[in-house]
Amino acid sequence: MIMALIYIENLKYSYGNLNNSLRDVKYELNNGEKNIVIGPNGSGKTTFLKCILGILKTEKMIKIDNNYVENIREYTALSTNIKDALHLSGDLSVKEFIKYHMKLKLIKEDAAFNMLAYFKLDSLKNKRLSDLSTGQEKMVYNTIALSGDYKIILLDEPLSSIDPDRSRLLINIINKSKNSFIITTHDLDLIKKIEGSTLNIMVDGNLSEKISPGELIFSMNVNTTRPQDKFIEIRGNDRTIYLTYGKENNVINNIDDLLYLYEV
Ligand SMILES: Nc1ncnc2c1ncn2[C@@H]1O[C@H](COP(=O)(O)OP(=O)(O)OP(=O)(O)O)[C@@H](O)[C@H]1O
């Protein structure tokens, strides 16, 4: 049996007693897959990535390359733009910060500096991290995540606060890459722009089954009242959202219509 690159079963995570941030997540990421996770604010997308990264501790629920995450000490095949996963020591310059991370990941620092130049961000090298704009800071983390040949790249909202030109450059890199990605986003356009992407929808800590975007736009209907003929069921706290075949209301004719998901 060929095991998925990331294999998750019964993943639950709570920050405190009252908070059920992830409810019972089942998930697989295959080799070379580019998986996009969308969902409303606070639905659990970042928490999901942090569990995979081992930043949040879980018990034998997540396997990467057939090893439990908690047993992986130095997983150099995994890369991310999540700030909490990037070790920070003091207020470094961008140059120092990049050098530090490339050394940590045993990657030639040129890889990251070339990427920075590709993003037309050479001028940031000597700036302090604390002096960067929100978008510039995000691009530095994206650069670190994408430099080097990582097997799995976890990008949390990589395009938030990023200008259209740099967004285009970043999407080009993802499209050219043969590696596997999980990308969280609120930018529904990304689903169209990342070639061959798959989609999961997170609602109230529940993750939908995997959907290929092509499947969605054949007159799918977003509703909370028609469990019969459901194609995808997404359980929320106090509602269940069904994607059904049909043309009554909230019909998905294109990716932008996924906005209905946020409205029901
Ligand atoms: N450090 C924390 N302590 C307590 N609760 C937290 C913490 N981080 C997140 N949460 C809660 O967990 C839930 C999921 O948060 P998470 O950040 O994973 O959502 P998200 O889908 O990434 O949201 P967004 O789209 O707004 O970035 C939310 O209810 C949030 O309030």
Same domain, 160 and 112: yes
With the most atoms of ligand 1 within 8 angstroms of its CB, the residue from 37, 38, 46 to mutate is 46
Same domain, 41 and 153: yes
Tens digit of each residue's pLDDT (9 = 90 or more) over 51-109 = 998 889 888 789 888 888 876 666 667 899 999 888 776 789 999 999 998 888 778 88
Ligand 1 neighbourhood includes 237 CB (under 6 angstroms): no
Out of 165, 194, 210, a domain closes at 210
Q: Which of 8, 151, 150 is nearest to 66 (CA)?
A: 8
Q: Which of 113, 170, 181 is nearest to 138 (CA)?
A: 170
How large is the C-alpha radius of gyration of the chain?
19
Q: How confident is the model at residue 162 (pLDDT cuts 50, 70, 90)?
A: very high
CA–centroid distance, residue 171 to ligand 1 (Å): 26
Q: How confident is the model at residue 231 (pLDDT cuts 50, 70, 90)?
A: confident
CA–centroid distance, residue 46 to ligand 1 (Å): 7
Tens digit of each residue's pLDDT (9 = 90 or more) over 200-220 = 989 889 998 898 876 665 556
Ligand 1 neighbourhood includes 47 CB (under 6 angstroms): yes
What is the distance between the alpha carbons of residues 178 and 192, in angstroms, rounded to a whole number?
A: 18
- The answer to the question of residue 1 being in a domain is no
At 228 the pLDDT is: 76
Average pLDDT of every residue of the chain? 86
Same domain, 81 and 113: yes
Q: Whose CA is nearest to atom 25 of ligand 1?
A: 41
pLDDT at 151 over 70: yes
Whether residue 45 contacts residue 39, with contact meaning beta carbons closer than 8 Å, is answered with yes
Residues 6+ apart with CB under 8 A from 76: 105, 106, 150
At 102 the pLDDT is: 87
Q: How confident is the model at residue 132 (pLDDT cuts 50, 70, 90)?
A: very high
At 254 the pLDDT is: 63
Give ipTM to 2 decimals.
Answer: 0.98
At 75 the pLDDT is: 62
CA–centroid distance, residue 207 to ligand 1 (Å): 14
Total Cβ atoms within 10 A of residue 109: 15
Same domain, 143 and 108: yes
Same domain, 59 and 172: yes
Same domain, 24 and 80: yes
At 49 the pLDDT is: 96
Q: Whose CA is nearest to atom 17 of ligand 1?
A: 46
At 253 the pLDDT is: 66
Residue 200, domain CATH: 3.40.50.300
At 19 the pLDDT is: 75
Ligand 1 neighbourhood includes 56 CB (under 6 angstroms): no
With the most atoms of ligand 1 within 8 angstroms of its CB, the residue from 37, 38, 43 to mutate is 43
Percent of the chain clearing pLDDT 70 (strictly above): 88
Domain that holds residue 98: 6-210
With the most atoms of ligand 1 within 8 angstroms of its CB, the residue from 47, 184, 203 to mutate is 47
Q: Greater confidence, 229 or 40?
A: 40
Ligand 1 neighbourhood includes 15 CB (under 6 angstroms): yes
Percent of the chain clearing pLDDT 90 (strictly above): 49
At 134 the pLDDT is: 96
Ligand 1 neighbourhood includes 43 CB (under 6 angstroms): yes
Tens digit of each residue's pLDDT (9 = 90 or more) over 25-57 = 999 999 999 999 998 889 999 999 999 988 898
At 173 the pLDDT is: 97
CA–centroid distance, residue 40 to ligand 1 (Å): 11
Length of the chain: 264
What is the distance between the alpha carbons of residues 218 and 35, in angstroms, rounded to a whole number?
A: 20
